[in-house]
Copies of this chain bind each other. A is one copy, B any other.
Amino acid sequence: MTEPKATNIKWHQQNVTTEMKASLHGHKGATLWFTGLSGSGKSTLANAVALTLHERKVSTYVLDGDNIRYGLSKNLGFSTEDRIENIRRIGEVARLFSDCAVVNLTAFISPFRSDRDIARQLQPNSFVEVYCKADVSVCESRDPKGLYKKARAGEISGFTGIDAPYEAPVSPEVEVDTGVQSIESSVDKVIEYLIRAQIIPG
């Protein structure tokens, strides 16, 4: 068709409503949006939370660089424009999983408040921002992918925390200091929030 961009397309409720799916799963859907510097433990914590949730019979899904950059965003690079589009797509996919009553966990640096806010606005009532706070020195000492070393050597530029800014969340639903707290206590903090917010049963 010669029509321009999609307009006037409404999101109809499916025959199987979100409430019906939540009833089947025994819990609501939500997005746990883990944000923080490279090496702050986002992916480790997201996977640990997912495992704990699974043991509580909660349906989960982790979205991270592995399954997004390799698939949905494989036609995107690392320019500012492409990074924004990458985070936008992740926010949209996260919303679909929440709509399916799955507790989905995204683990991306997502350094800009504006990008995270776009993802939040897609599902304001089911968006849980989890700030993985850790001093850049702690993250750099971990450097699991050797990226800080490369950034310091000038081999990569625009690296968050080194020569590109990270905008910390102003009022995240959950904040953990992964440089100080154990993974177990960090997991507990997230789970307690989900129970308090009545996303999962206690």
Contact = CB atoms under 8 A, between A and B. Distances in A.
A35 interface: no
A57 B1 contact: no
Contact of A51 (B15, B76, B156): B15
A192 B122 CA distance: 37
Interface string A93-107: 101110110100000
A6 B73 contact: yes
Nearest to A15: B47
Interface string A41-77: 0000001101100100101111101110111111111
Interface residues of A, number: 56
B77 A156 contact: no
A16 B50 contact: yes
Nearest to A61: B100
B93 A25 contact: no
A60 B72 CA distance: 21
Given A1-B158, A6-B69, A16-B47, 11 more contacts: A2-B158, A5-B74, A6-B70, A9-B65, A11-B71, A14-B61, A16-B50, A16-B51, A24-B54, A61-B99, A96-B97
